[in-house]
Amino acid sequence: MFNKKSKFELRKDLDKESFQRITCSFYRYCAIDNPEGLRNQLYQDLSDLKILGRVYVAEEGINAQISVPDHKWEKF
């Protein structure tokens, strides 16, 4: 599970969007028993919401820099 689009393709997709995005950055130090499983679930959930960015998941916590469509902020 990973992004297969080039930087050019991603930029083209962003240029077509008719909505604004909210930038969000967060981290949380906590024990994560199954980082790979959480990462895969987050990848799917965030992709479904058209959320872009980077999310790092490790046994010691999570760190993210993401861009959320403004109309999906509440659902996020």
Determine the straight-line distance between the first and last CA of the chain, rounded to whole angstroms: 20
Tokens of 4: 């297969």
pLDDT range class, residue 2, cuts 50, 70, 90? low
Query: What CA–CA distance (Å, rounded) separates 21 from 39?
Result: 22
DSSP annotation string for 25-59? EEEEE---S-HHHHHHHHHHHHHHTT-EEEEEEET
**Single pTM value for the model:** 0.84
Dump pLDDT digits (tens) for 54-71: 999 999 999 999 999 999
Dump pLDDT digits (tens) for 18-41: 999 999 999 999 999 999 999 999
